[in-house]
Amino acid sequence: MRLTVYSDYALRLMMYLGLRKGGSLSTIDEVAAAYHISKAHLMKITHELGQKGLIETIRGRQGGMRLAREATAIRVGDIVRACEPDFALVPCMEPEGGKGCVVLPACILKRALATAAAAFLEVLDGYTLADLVGPAIALRQLLGIENSGALGSALKP
């Protein structure tokens, strides 16, 4: 199983936001700089995660983004589900898939792969964003996040 770069960046973004203290705001520029990744990609990801209720975005000069709820309430599996287009590991698992497969009526592979994908997501659901940011001091240091969380800290307790 392989996640898309989109999901990878979304997970990184969520971790960054989870490391900010007191719900302080972060900007796309600072997240992109911390991870050395594309601002354009982060803009799309931020928009989608905002639409799906995982992050809160605030427009304007003093704007930014932050988690929409506590990191303990966000499962890693939910982030991945929000970003991955599907979990069709083979064409016959797609909604219209299997039409050209001659062995489909007797195939066990499709069921085995579906079970594997479900198990993958079940394991991810066993972790929260808070688990991922557990080594917060080391992660903040590596990403250059100040422990004060000064940016926008007055907006949310």
pTM recorded for the entire structure: 0.86
Bridge-based pairing of strands 55-58 and 64-67 is antiparallel
Specify which residues 56 forms β-bridges with: 66
Q: How far apart are CA 45 and CA 26, in angstroms?
A: 14
Task: State which residues of the chain have pLDDT below 70.
Answer: 97-98, 147-157
Each residue's pLDDT tens digit, 70-88: 999 999 999 999 999 888 8
